[in-house]
């Protein structure tokens, strides 16, 4: 008879749950108790006075849990955050043509931005600034940009469950065009000794 306990090497013990070097389980983190308050804060910054619906919170949770968000994920999120919002085919600014007069496809430019964000080459703040320049949707760009900022921020190296619970959108400067150009910066603590 074959004794599997004797012939297979012993598996290493799992890392402690509070190990700061272990990345968060994003699917689990997206269902944390911290999400509704940040969604409410994001909507207040966009001028909403009511509490977010369960559907809006669920849309955020789905977006935050996505390991590799795509343009389609943003379109789904937009359907909940700004019903009737449509992804534009071309950028709003008339001077976006390259030296040959070619205007890039907005869905392609947005896909490139998401790839930069997923790879970590664009910080949360950079992703929001680029998103604001594109203004990809007919409405709701500020709310969608804040969700993108949050998606990237919770994936910062060293992010912990404790940091998620303390995460908040810092006060943005007052702007008549907050929806088009949200100014967000992270106020997230990093573990001591970590290089970023």
pLDDT digits (tens, 9 = 90+) for 30-81: 888 889 999 999 999 888 899 999 999 999 999 999 989 999 999 999 999 9
CA atoms within 13 A on the CB side of 178: 16
**Please, which residues bridge with residue 87 across strands?**
137
Band of the pLDDT at 137, cuts 50, 70, 90? very high
For residue 173, is pLDDT > 50? Answer: no
Distance CA 179, CA 164 (A): 24
H helix and E strand count, the chain: 9, 0
Of 10-19, 21-30, 156-165, the one with minimum mean pLDDT is 10-19
Distance CA 192, CA 21 (A): 12
Cβ contacts of 23 within 8 Å, gap of 6 or more: 155, 159
The domain ranges of the chain are 23-89+101-161
Residue count (the chain): 196
* Residue bearing the bigger pLDDT, 78 or 159: 78
Cβ contacts of 66 within 8 Å, gap of 6 or more: 73, 151
Region 162-181 average pLDDT:
56
Of 79-88, 95-104, 175-184, the one with minimum mean pLDDT is 175-184
């Amino acid at each position: 008879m074959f004794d599997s306990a004797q012939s297979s090497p012993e598996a290493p013990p799992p890392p402690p749950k509070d190990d700061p070097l272990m990345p968060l389980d994003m699917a689990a983190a997206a269902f944390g108790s911290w999400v509704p308050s940040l969604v409410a804060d994001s909507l207040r910054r966009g001028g909403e006075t009511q509490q977010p619906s369960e559907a809006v919170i669920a849309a955020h949770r789905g977006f935050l849990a996505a390991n590799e968000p795509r343009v389609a994920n943003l379109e789904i999120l937009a359907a909940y955050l700004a019903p009737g919002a449509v992804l534009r085919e071309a950028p709003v600014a008339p001077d976006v043509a390259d030296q040959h007069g070619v205007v890039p496809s907005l869905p392609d430019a947005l896909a490139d931005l998401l790839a930069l964000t997923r790879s970590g080459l664009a910080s949360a703040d950079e992703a929001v600034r680029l998103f604001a320049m594109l203004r990809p949707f007919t409405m709701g760009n500020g709310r969608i940009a804040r969700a993108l900022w949050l998606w990237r921020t919770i994936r910062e190296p060293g992010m912990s469950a404790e940091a998620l619970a303390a995460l908040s959108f810092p006060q943005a400067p007052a702007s008549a065009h907050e929806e088009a150009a949200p100014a967000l910066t992270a106020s997230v603590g990093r573990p001591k000794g970590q290089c970023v």
